[in-house]
Structure 1
Amino acid sequence: MIIGNLEQIGIQLEYIIEFKSPSGLFNFIIDDELIPGKGTITDLFMVISSLKNTFHYNLDEKDFEIGKKKIEDINFADGEPENLIYVDCSELSDFGCVFWLGYDGDEERLFYSNDFEKTFREQRYPKGTLANLIDSLPNSFDLKINRINDDITNTEIIS
C-alpha cells in the first residue's frame, strides 16, 4: 500500500508477517527512493506509533524555525541539532535511517540520513506536509493481510 503524494513524499506500508504486533515493510518514498529500503520484518506498531507521537505533542513551530540556514551549517554531530524536531522512526534507525524537521516560514525542511548520519540530504515541502502524511497512516492493528494465493498478498485497512 502506498500512502501520500508521491510527487512530494509518500510511505510504502505492507503488513507481511503476523507476530505479536503487525510486522512488514515500512519505507518513506522521497525523491523516487525508498528510505531505508531494507527490512521486511519491521514492527509496524512501533514505527507508526513513534511517528504519530512525534507530531501529536503540541509543538510550537516557532521554536523550530531555522530559516534559510544552510545544511552544511547545521551540526548534526551533537545528537540534537538546534531548533530541529527529531522525527522518531523507532527501529528504522537500526537501518541507518534518521530524520530531523525544521521550518523556514511557510516551508518545512526535512533533513534525513540513510547511512547512520554520515551524510544528510534535504527536501523542502509546504508546511504541514509531513504531519499530514503521518496523520494519514492507519493504526497498525487496523491492517489486515489479504492472501490472494501462496505467492501474492496485499495489505487492507479493516476499519
Structure 2
Amino acid sequence: MFGTWEFGITFEVLERQDDSHFVFGFFNIVIDDELLIHRGSNWTLDCMIAYLKRTIEDIEAQGLVETNLGKDNAYIQACATRNYYSYIEMELIHALNEFPEDKELSGQIDDYDKKVTNIPFGIEIKSYGELSNYGWRFFLFGAGEEERLIYSKDAGKTVFEKILPRDTVEKVLRSLPDPKSLNV
C-alpha cells in the first residue's frame, strides 16, 4: 500500500497486455483502514495512476484553497464550478423533464449553470473513468495546518470528510510508481 491507513492507495498488477501499454489489476483507496471501492477488479492501473499523479501539478500550481464551508457545501460548490451535477441538480433536471413548463425549476437550473467558473473550487483528485463511472469524486482543501479530503460516491447525497496532516495526499500521490514502470 502507498500511504497510511488514514489515507492510502493500494493496487496489484494481475495482467499486462503484450501488445499495448495497458496494465490491469485490483485498485482501491483506503481511508481510515476501510476499502472504499467495493467493486471492480480489472482496472487499467497505468491509466489510474497517471491520472492520480496529475493532481500533483494542480496542487503545485494552485495550492490548496482554504475553506471553512461545511463538507456538503464545499463538495457541491467544487462540483458546480466544474459543471458536475450534484444529486440536487439531477433531481431538478428530472423534475423539469416531468414538468417542462415550470419556470421556477427552469430558473433554478439556470442559477446552477451560473456557478460554473473558470477557476474551479478546491483541488480535484483526478481519477480515470473507472473510478468516476462508479460515482466517486474527491476534492482537497486546506484547513490551516491540515487538509480536508471531501468525497462522495453518490453525487453529493452522502458526503464524507477526512481531516489529514497537511501534504498527506500529495505525499501519497508522489509515492505511487511511474505508470510506465508497471509495463515492465
Which TM-score bucket, shorter chain as reference?
0.7 to 0.9
For structure 1, which segment, 10-19 or 111-120, has the greater mean C-alpha deviation from structure 2 after superposition?
111-120
1:3 partner amino acid: F
Q: SS in structure 2 opposite 1:65?
A: coil
2:3 is aligned to 4
Q: Give 1:72 deviation, angstroms.
A: 3.4
1:87 is aligned to 125
Q: Give 1:17 deviation, angstroms.
A: 2.0
Percent of aligned pairs with the same residue? Answer: 30
Q: SS in structure 1 opposite 2:61?
A: coil
Structure 1: give runs of 5+ residues left out of the alignment: 145-157
1:122 is aligned to 161
TM-score (norm 1): 0.78
Cα distance change on mapping 1:79 and 1:34 into 2, 3 Å: farther
**Alpha-carbon separation, structure 1, partners of 2:139 and 2:146:** 14
Q: Does 1:59 align with 2:98?
A: no
Greater share of strand: 1
Q: Give 1:79 deviation, angstroms.
A: 5.2
Cα distance change on mapping 1:79 and 1:17 into 2, 3 Å: farther
- Does the 8 A contact of 2:28 with 2:35 survive in 1? yes
Structure 2: give runs of 5+ residues left out of the alignment: 83-114
Alignment of 1:1-159 (within 5 A): 2-6=1-5, 8-19=6-17, 20=20, 21-57=22-58, 58-61=60-63, 64-66=65-67, 68-74=68-74, 76=76, 78=80, 80=82, 83-91=121-129, 92-143=131-182
Q: How many residues align?
A: 141
**Alpha-carbon separation, structure 2, partners of 1:46 and 1:59:** 22
2:174 partner amino acid: D
- Does the 8 A contact of 2:136 with 2:153 survive in 1? yes
2:92 is aligned to none
Q: SS in structure 2 opposite 1:88?
A: coil
**Alpha-carbon separation, structure 1, partners of 2:35 and 2:134:** 12
Greater share of helix: 2
TM-score (norm 2): 0.68
Pick 1 or 2: higher relative contact order, CA cutoff 8 A, min separation 6. 2
